Amino acid sequence: MNQKIRKLLAHRGGNIALSFALLLVPLITAVGMSLDYVRAYNIRTKMQSNLDTALLAAVKSVGTLDDDAIEEQINNWFAAQTDESEAGYALGDIDIDTSNQEITATATLTVPTTLLKVANIDSIDVGVSTSVAGPGESYLNVYIVLDKSASMLLAATTAGQTTMLASAAGCAFACHTSEGATYTYKKKKYTTVYGLAKAMGVQLRTDVSLAAVEEVLDMIDTYDTTHQRIKVGLYTVGQTATQVLAPTFSTSDARKKLSDDTSGLTSATSEPATYFDYSMTALKKLVGTAGDGSSSGSPMKLVLMLTDGVQSERNWVLQTSSGIRFPTSSGSLQKADTPLNPNWCKDIKDLNASFGVLYTEYLPMTWDWGYEATVGSTMSSSVYASVWGGTIKSGYGSKTRLAYIPVALSDCASSSDLFIQANSSDEIEAGLSTLFHQYLNKVRLTN
């Protein structure tokens, strides 16, 4: 018997089972830490994204809703984004800074564990925080670009066009080349159609454009009351791009330029051609690369272009080349009168700048032979592809060039919400400020 007991005590066959039993708890704890903490991390990552989304949506309401309504909006947005894995979250410490258009918020969640329960760890606490600011806190340069083509001198309303057609000029456009002609109105003589239009009180599309710029300046005054964050610059596009006013904090200086006939912005002047390929290249140098808006030396940049979107030259009327630009090998200069190629806008967008476009709709003039021969003619009859390098989208070859202008300009803009098509004078006047407001609704995370 003693010998059997000695053999039993000397037996080592159960060591593995015994060792495994002793190691089981720390092994389960280690695996549990891996699984449960990874799960908690993934939930935290999703919560961070959800909180960011909620605040990005809510910050747009700062200034229009009271703080309680904004907090409710944040809770609703966050709840809508969460799933079952985040049930039991708690939002807290929501701080709303109205003056700087900034919202800060935190969210916490207790995540129940699975395998870690073996080590008496029943839950893991997860917390996230986000701070979101509207563009009002960022430094921003706004580049307002006005098309100076002769077509922008069209009377802005149907009534105005009727008045112009019935006048001594017999033309709906206030073209400035007098060519020795004089026009009589109320016993006074005028040497330009522009002078005649002004005397008759006819508002031109250029006049409406300037009123639209005034609206943007009013908004800048509202969003940057101290005039320390938002600069505005004024530019024209025609044969090239011209800087009329370098970016400045002074909206009063900008307003002076808008009313000065010598600035080149008003209806007193126009250019004989609009070369968007040349203009966009020149404008790129004037705008420069955009920053993140964190300092005055690194401003975000927004380009707002107001245009009818037609690559054109006046010489097509006489079918004579200026010798500067338009091709003569195409057989007809009328074929070269087309919508701009949206690829030309890439020069600006490559600067990391946002590009907004207000299309001052080129109004159909079916009674005019010049309209029918150019913008009223089909895309397939143009040299849009062969000379200007554009690609006509499927289904548009048989459509008019007029119909293709908004297609091209929409592609020119940075995004669909930064393109607006305006028809009437009221729509044009409201359009530019609407684009600016659309941009200001874009926000950035600050933390």
Q: What does residue 301 show for φ and ψ, rounded to 5 degrees?
A: -135, 135
Q: What is the pLDDT of residues 346-396, one digit of tens each?
A: 999 999 999 999 998 877 777 777 788 888 999 999 989 988 999 999 999
Q: Which residues contact 66 (CB under 8 A, 6 or more apart)?
A: none
Q: What confidence score (pLDDT) does residue 88 get?
A: 59
pTM of the model: 0.70
pLDDT of residue 51: 80
pLDDT of residue 330: 45
Q: Indicate the average pLDDT of the chain.
A: 81
CA distance 150 to 147: 9
**pLDDT number for residue 15:** 57
Residue with tokens 């010049």: 370
Question: At 11, is the secondary structure helix, strand, or coil?
Answer: coil
Q: Give dist(CA 144, CA 356) in Å, integer.
A: 10
> Could you give the 3-state DSSP secondary structure of residue 310?
strand
Q: What is the CA radius of gyration of the chain?
A: 33
Residue 124, pLDDT above cutoff 90: no
Amino acid sitting at position 418: L
pLDDT in tens, 156-200: 778 888 888 888 888 777 765 555 678 888 889 888 888 888 889
Q: Long-range contacts: 383-391, Cβ < 8 Å, 24+? A: 383/327, 383/330, 383/335, 383/336, 383/338, 384/338, 384/339, 384/341, 386/330, 387/327, 387/330, 387/336, 388/277, 388/311, 388/336, 388/338, 388/341, 389/341, 389/343, 390/338, 390/339, 390/341, 390/342, 390/343
